[in-house]
Structure 1
């Protein structure tokens, strides 16, 4: 059970209880967007509860057949400098090491990696390491995918040690949901823990970017895996999108923040669910997402409310920083164009908006940037944009 994965939806006992027409509909979904889950994760689902949040995270939903959305909503292709290597922000490079995960989230923003398309993950990381060496502004390297922990520890060791030898790279991040999907990957592999212990040094840390979406995902096995990583010298933080039917109740989001803070995991980002193809059933309007987060914060101590609410847009990480009865306020937390860092954006409230593009019209250009009315008033806000 501990290390097994299921990719055939018909093997899930719950699927076998469905009516034939419902089975056929679910199989239509999996023919587009594959199914994958660990037996550990499936064992935590209350299959008698039609609204079980973990079931919603992993089990196919018929409304995924709504083809609204994009295969690449954040335009990652634009920032891909080599196969499997992205460089969008000056300090950070992304290495896509794998096109597999311990489970496939139904709301995945990179589901194109699991679909029938040319491979986009890295085959030979040597050229990518050369690129990183040639760019001294890069201080952070994010190992992602897919899930890097699906790889063997031997291969991970090769990549991590070679990245660690690059002097100007001080932070290695590992983006993973394995702490929820299959924590045994950590608890039963002492070689992996030893690798982290040797490579996460006092001056150059390894960060694990965990992906807990609901407090019920934080199992005793997850807590033990986190403890081992922390003892090995790693820093564990968490990020989650706001997902309809999973964490849109402020009490649930608050419980997630609190449980994470109790075990020493800092809430890092709360994302607006990206408008990826098939994802509309999981998204909620931007302003509702912001309100969920703010209401959750009211229930938490300071250590549990360190997350920022972010839209990971093609132009950068856009943070929603405030709202009143008529307006919503945003700023660039990260920007692909460094000139955007000082921009502060004010727009009319739009309770139906599910993405930044619903507030700002796309410019008629091949370049995915936006034509804004820009006014600079150094006595008030530096770089204020009103649109």
Structure 2
């Protein structure tokens, strides 16, 4: 596909795909819409329950008043515009406030509503902060989507980080292999950047987001192959989403196809309580059961993902249930002393978030 123009309104989608969408103006005005021709071509427009459609097309259910624009309270960990330091060993840099498409379940949709408020403005300030904190061993580049910035700028950021002795790895957060794989396959400079930095003795990761097996197209796999063959490692994370991947067969297919493509299933997230997300949420205990059933048909390589809630206090892993209780532990924590802390709670089949157990 040589043409892959962005579409910014449902009216454009209707014109190009005869999609028959209507009554979504209020949703568009509240939570912006963005997609491209390639990703929209994956939708079966005759299926009202199409999972790709649910990922990218606005839904009137987004107008239900629920959640917040900062569900993980990232503001409390922000050290300067675009730089967060929540976990001792990890710094997060928001290097972009745009994406290849706007996921309807995004937990940082505030970036698209109020652009420029949180994106990095002064790279030197953030690099100096990381350099002065030797406990930081890895840096996550995110946004928005880290591959929305030019490769020349991305290369400068990665090189600057790798020049810091205590930074051992850099993770690049992106959904571009799913949304627009041509961003990768058509950019030789990106491949060169990966090759150059992979020879540094440090690790470069691409943290992808595939939510459904149908996103793993031939083009997407070609993009992932190029990233791997250039010297990067791949890991995938996805939230569990009602109507998209909340059944064992779909989840099993996603994890197995990712593993076969050399992309490690890394995190399975509870959908965060972000504004507009209520219809995507699946109860915590239901999600745990879905994943356990999915794992029965997976190899050890394909079932390495941890099921976690990215809570304000840390990444809380759901590790087990019995007839009366659900068991969790801090896989990662804002307070280092909480890491590994075990917790048990009375079961609550309606719980959608950690706070519902407190």
| TM-score normalised by structure 2 residue count | 0.97
Query: Is 2:13–2:19's contact at 8 Å kept on the other side of the alignment?
Result: no
SS at match of 1:191: helix
SS at match of 2:171: strand
What does the per-residue CA deviation read over 1:74-122, in whole Å, with 9 as the maximum and x for residues that have no partner? Answer: 0000000110000000110000001100000000000000114661111
Pairing of 1:147-186 with structure 2 (within 5 A): 147-186=145-184
Task: Give the Å deviation of 1:17.
Answer: 5.0
Pairing of 1:263-302 with structure 2 (within 5 A): 263-302=261-300
Structure showing greater relative contact order (alpha-carbon pairs closer than 8 Å, 6 or more residues apart): 2
Task: Give the Å deviation of 1:261.
Answer: 0.8
Task: Give the superposed CA RMSD.
Answer: 1.3
Task: Give the Å deviation of 1:4.
Answer: 2.0
Q: Structure 2 CA distance, aligned partners of 1:220 and 1:153?
A: 23
4+ residue runs over 3 A deviation: 14-18
Which of 1 and 2 has greater Rg? 1
Match of 2:69 in 1: 71
SS at match of 2:159: helix
Pairing of 1:314-353 with structure 2 (within 5 A): 314-353=312-351
Q: Structure 2 CA distance, aligned partners of 1:226 and 1:245?
A: 26
Q: Structure 2 CA distance, aligned partners of 1:44 and 1:343?
A: 43
Pairing of 1:1-387 with structure 2 (within 5 A): 1-13=2-14, 18=20, 23=22, 25-116=23-114, 119-201=117-199, 203-360=201-358
Query: Is 1:2–1:184's contact at 8 Å kept on the other side of the alignment?
Result: no
What does the per-residue CA deviation read over 1:110-156, in whole Å, with 9 as the maximum and x for residues that have no partner? Answer: 00001146611111211000000000111101000000101111111
Q: Which runs of 5+ in 2 are unaligned?
A: none
SS at match of 1:303: coil
Q: Structure 2 CA distance, aligned partners of 1:202 and 1:357?
A: 43
Q: Structure 2 CA distance, aligned partners of 1:154 and 1:342?
A: 40
Q: Structure 2 CA distance, aligned partners of 1:143 and 1:288?
A: 32
- How many residues are aligned here? 356
Q: Structure 2 CA distance, aligned partners of 1:289 and 1:125?
A: 39
| TM-score normalised by structure 1 residue count | 0.90
Q: Structure 1 CA distance, aligned partners of 2:7 and 2:123?
A: 29
Task: Give the Å deviation of 1:7.
Answer: 1.1
Q: Which runs of 5+ in 1 are unaligned?
A: 361-387
Query: Is 1:95–1:143's contact at 8 Å kept on the other side of the alignment?
Result: yes
